[in-house]
Structure 1
Amino acid sequence: MKVIVLGAGVVGVTTAYHLAQAGCEVTVIDRQAAAASETSYGNAGLITPGDSFAWASPAALKTFVSSLVKPDMGIKVKPNLDPRFIAWTLKFLGQCTAKKALENTEKKLRLSVYAREQMALLAEKTGVQFDRVQKGVLYFYRSQETLDHGVSHMQFMADKGLPIEVLDREGLVRHDSGLKHSANQLAGGILCGVDQTGDSCKFSRNLAAWCESNMGVRFNWGTSIKTIETTGDKVTKIVTDKGGFTADAYILATGCDSPLLLSEIGVKLALYPVKGYSITAKITDETAAPIMGGVDDDKLIAYSRLGDRIRVACTAEFAGWDRTHTPADFKTVLKTINELFPNAADYEGAERWAGLRPMTPSSVPVIGRTRKYSNLLLNTGHGHVGWTMSCGSGKVVTDLLLGRTPEMDTAGLIFKG
């Protein structure tokens, strides 16, 4: 079967890998010059089933509403009259019940755990390198009140079988000596042992090269999609600035551009970009740097150790499809990481980046066949855990395309639009 994958972020590349493993003839189209040049380029680096909580919840509802008048470091909402934003917001608010939050979190966790298993198999088979650290991830808190809340919150994950260990400040330093300079600011934290970290950009580019060399996957770089042509219930051609591409089946993995492309062929998708910022700094003092990933839940930043670099990410900003950034956007995150790991890296000389997370109102990704076009499948909308879920969703969408029963329980995960 000839299959075209639209998009070469981490989700598109892992999809191409699974398709080729299943014997498909695979072509990938992407407008950038290399894999993972947009959303997958500068994310926090966390691969975290332990962070599978749905964004929509009663607590998020309060934060979302308050941010309309008082934006803070964690979430920023710029009210606008974009019909897509208004429609998405109404659907998001409809998901902010305790019942739906638990249901959506369980769905995400199921896929994240499966994806972790698939990543292990993929890494073993291909040998791709991506600065992987498998020591777990620390979630830490600055007061006893927020620590107690965090422990109560994480109990859901513990009840679902994830290994959770509650730590005092000495325990945090015992697991990551880099925190020794800032432990007095912390009340304690939680270690989620199944979580890990890695560079999704390096992973995607190395995997794309491996797929090209070992499995004959064809990557068309610098190729922008203009339109999707259809006849009846079939997609017939992808029209690009470099000509037309045809196949038996098509899988859309274009992240935040997905609803824009789909709307032109009459498929509605509730997905909206949520902007995030990150810095990547070269380590200058090994003794002061973190040795594993962490999440400062009170300051709402996440960081990873990526070889000789530290990646730090923050903010959820609703600003449409704007990818620009200014020095002011990084002021707070630079201050916070320098307090946590003082003089550990060249923070002032760090690479600064902004990217868009493709968020659905429920936080559950969109995976499966469209009703309107029998040969068009979607693998998009992974939000803040696309890196975590990528290896799993790529395998699931491949199974669905080929008429195979997925190996994991997909109840509530398959797209029905």
Structure 2
Amino acid sequence: MKILVLGAGVVGVTSAYYLARQGHEVTVVDRQPSPAMETSYGNAGQVSFGFSSPWAAPGIPQKAVKWMFQEHAPLKIQPRMDPTMARFMMKMLGNCNPESYATNKERMVRVAEHSRMCIDALRAETGIRYEDRQRGLLQLFRNDKQVAAADKDMQVLAQCGVRHKLLGADELTAIEPALARVPGKFVGGLHLPDDQTGDCHLFTNRLADYCRETLGVTFLFNTTIERLTRVSGRVEAVHTSAGKLTADSYVMALGSYSPFLARDLDIRLPIYPVKGYSLTLPVIDDGGAPQSTVMDETFKVAISRFDNRIRVGGTAELASYDLSLAEKRRATIAMVVRDVFPEGGDLAQAEFWTGLRPMTPDSTPIIGATKYDNLWLNTGHGTLGWTMSCGSAQLLADLVDGRQPAINPDGLSVARYAA
């Protein structure tokens, strides 16, 4: 079957990999000159299967009010007359209850744990390397209230078979030795030993090379996708700056831009761009730098280790599709890495970046069929695009082929928003 994948970020390229691996003739279309040049370029570097949690959680509305008055808050909202933002926030608030949180958490962990097995198998099959490390993630708690709040997450992790361990303050340095240089800052942590780190941009490019050279995937770069047209309940064609493209089936993996294209087909995707920032700085002292990924729970900032670089990613900003670099956000993530690993990297040489995470109101990606029998969705992964990419792409390939899926797909398609 001839399949067009729309989007060459990490979700689009992994979709191409699994579809081509199952024997399909795959073409990937993207407006950028190479893979992973937008949201997949400078993400936090964490592949955090066990850390898959909904943003919409009990207590978040109250926290959001407090964050409005904090200089280094993890969430910022830029006031604007934006009805799309207002609808998204209302739907997100509707998920901030214990029942919805438990449902959404289970769905996210289901995809993420499948993704863990998939990325391990992909790495073994393809042999690609991407400055990756398989040393886990350490969530750091600055107060006892955060430790207590982790109990519910640990219950879900236990139910899903995710390995984890709650650590006391004196046990943190066994996982991250550099924390010995900042004594007294953290009261404990949650260690997820099966989580991983790496450079998502490098991963996506090397996988794209493998797809092209080994699986025969075609990539059409510098090609703007303009619109989709339909005939008799099917997508007829994709109209691009390079002309009209046709296929037997189409996969939409356009992240935050998916709603614009889906709107042509009367499909409403409740995806809103949540702006995130990162700094990438050179390591200057290995002993003072992280060895894997740490997540500062207070500021929601992740600090990940590459070979000779540190990637610091965090903050969430509701600012529509604005891609300007805000110095206040830089100050926040710089403050955190300076506070946790003050001797590890050189902030004076840091690269500052921003990207748009495609967030759904329930934080769960949208994977599966649509009302058009040849249009499939793989989008809306929020902050966990790389974490869930392999699992969601493998699931999608099963669904496209009509195979018995490797995991239960219930609650993952766009149909969950019909009510």
Q: What interval of TM-score do these two structures reach, taking the shorter chain for normalisation?
A: over 0.9
Confirm or deny that 1:4 pairs with 2:9: no
* 2:92 maps to amino acid: F
Partner of 2:280: 280
Partner of 1:392: 391
Residue 411 of structure 1 deviates from its aligned partner by 2.0
Partner of 1:370: 370
**Alpha carbons of 1:67 and 1:140: their partners in 2 closer, same or farther (altered >3 Å)?**
closer
Partner of 1:140: 140
- 3-state SS, counterpart of residue 222 of structure 1: coil
Distance 2:287 2:96 in 1: 43
8 Å CA contact 2:72–2:332 kept in 1: the answer is: no
Moved more, 254-263 or 53-62: 53-62
8 Å CA contact 1:71–1:77 kept in 2: the answer is: no
Partner of 1:410: 409
Confirm or deny that 1:165 pairs with 2:147: no
Instruction: Give aligned pairs, total.
Output: 416
Moved more, 48-57 or 114-123: 48-57
Distance 2:150 2:54 in 1: 15
8 Å CA contact 1:151–1:190 kept in 2: the answer is: no
- 3-state SS, counterpart of residue 190 of structure 2: strand
What TM-score, normalized to structure 1?
0.96
Moved more, 76-85 or 318-327: 76-85
8 Å CA contact 1:272–1:358 kept in 2: the answer is: yes
The percentage of aligned residue pairs carrying the same residue is: 39
After superposition, the C-alpha distances for 1:111-165 in whole angstroms (9 at most, x for unaligned) are 1000110111111000111111111110111223323333454333134322221
Distance 1:378 1:71 in 2: 38
Residue 179 of structure 1 deviates from its aligned partner by 1.5
Distance 1:64 1:22 in 2: 45
Distance 2:23 2:153 in 1: 43
How does 1:61-210 map onto structure 2 within 5 Å? 61-67=61-67, 72-210=72-210
Distance 2:170 2:49 in 1: 25
Q: CA RMSD in A?
A: 1.5
8 Å CA contact 2:229–2:235 kept in 1: the answer is: yes
**Alpha carbons of 1:170 and 1:408: their partners in 2 closer, same or farther (altered >3 Å)?**
same
- 3-state SS, counterpart of residue 59 of structure 2: helix
- 3-state SS, counterpart of residue 26 of structure 1: strand
Moved more, 402-411 or 277-286: 402-411
Distance 1:72 1:267 in 2: 37
Unaligned stretches of 5+ residues in structure 2 = none
Moved more, 166-175 or 245-254: 166-175
8 Å CA contact 1:56–1:363 kept in 2: the answer is: yes
Moved more, 58-67 or 280-289: 58-67
Partner of 2:315: 315
**Alpha carbons of 1:68 and 1:228: their partners in 2 closer, same or farther (altered >3 Å)?**
farther
Residue 85 of structure 1 deviates from its aligned partner by 1.1
How does 1:231-380 map onto structure 2 within 5 Å? 231-371=231-371, 373-380=372-379
* 1:209 maps to amino acid: D
Moved more, 173-182 or 302-311: 173-182
* 1:309 maps to amino acid: R
Distance 2:406 2:414 in 1: 17
8 Å CA contact 1:20–1:26 kept in 2: the answer is: yes
Unaligned stretches of 5+ residues in structure 1 = none
